[in-house]
Amino acid sequence: MNASSLTIWCNAHFPEPATRELLEGIKPHRLITPGAREASNLVGGAADPLLAQADVAFGQPDPKQIVELPKLRWIHLTSAGYTRYDTPAVRDGLKRRGAILTNSSMVYDEPCAEHVLAMILAVSRRLPQSWAEQATTRAWKYTETRIQSRLLGGQTFLLLGFGAIARRLLELLSPMKVNAMAVRRTVTGSEPIPTFPYHQLRELIPQADHIVNLLPANPTTERLFDAGCVERMRQTAIFYNIGRGSTVDQIALQTALETDRIGGAYLDVTDPEPLPPDHPLWLLPNCWITPHTAGGHANEFERLVRHFLTNLRCFERSEPLLDRIV
């Protein structure tokens, strides 16, 4: 490989500081950008004729196009999720010509894990209920709030998915001496907690005080947490979703919340997104919502660029790349 003459295509619309860092960091390589760039890494880019010139793609390129371009040797996604690229056509097409696909999981594991931990602690300590009282009746529910507040020690967490975010969340929860188990598509045996395949999910649910959904969207996870799963939850159990809205039967979850069948739910992702302003979930006192912000942080774009540049140095030296998918 002639590492001094790479053409790098990028369709991410970064703020000026991140753009400067990218331009400086890729030297001596050439950067090309399409006329329309995406400000959100949740939005897939359209096919772009310029991509045919590139050795490397950084951003969210069109999945069909990356399979068709033999010059393109490495694609680095600006997201942890890669649903659009998780297809046999993309995987097989890239493998046939030895092309590489990487993502940005290492950029998002920390903020996502901290985000859900914040909600776990808030729910256990009854903070949302106290804030609701502050905004409305300002009642001083001293005895009730103290009795209903819980400690995490000894409670059981069921993690749906066991990737980078789950591993970091487990590290953050470890000092609190919780019990934890997980389900994932492929169990390797190297997981640090008891881990089971998807088909055992229902039998694990009744054991859990907290169920944390970290599942990506793909055909194997579509409505994986279905009405039968919701029905098997403990009445006091809390459900957290920072995976994808499509992995959950949201109607069944809503019904369980409306009837107080479960303890509550925290949703950073919904189906659809954005959640319509008149959707009933907004008004349920035992449902707390954030607008798909778990991965957000002040220097997100700079960290995306630095992660790419770290991998670029590895690519130049023909070393293994971080966050490799294909």
> What stretches in the chain show pLDDT beneath 70?
1-4, 39
The pLDDT of residue 3:
59
Q: Which fold has domain 109-289?
A: Rossmann fold (3.40.50)
The dihedral over CA atoms of 156, 161, 163, 167, expressed in degrees to the nearest 10, equals: 0
Considering the entire predicted model, what is its pTM? Answer: 0.93
Q: Do domains 7-103+298-316 and 109-289 have the same CATH topology?
A: yes
The vertex-285 CA angle with 280 and 286, nearest 5°, equals: 100
Closest to 167 in 3D by CA, of 106, 223, 217, 121: 106
The pLDDT of residue 145:
97
The pLDDT of residue 1:
45
For residue 79 the two structure tokens come to 């997201």
- Segments making up each domain of the chain, as ranges: 7-103+298-316, 109-289
The pLDDT of residue 177:
97
CATH homologous superfamily of 7-103+298-316 equals: NAD(P)-binding Rossmann-like Domain (3.40.50.720)
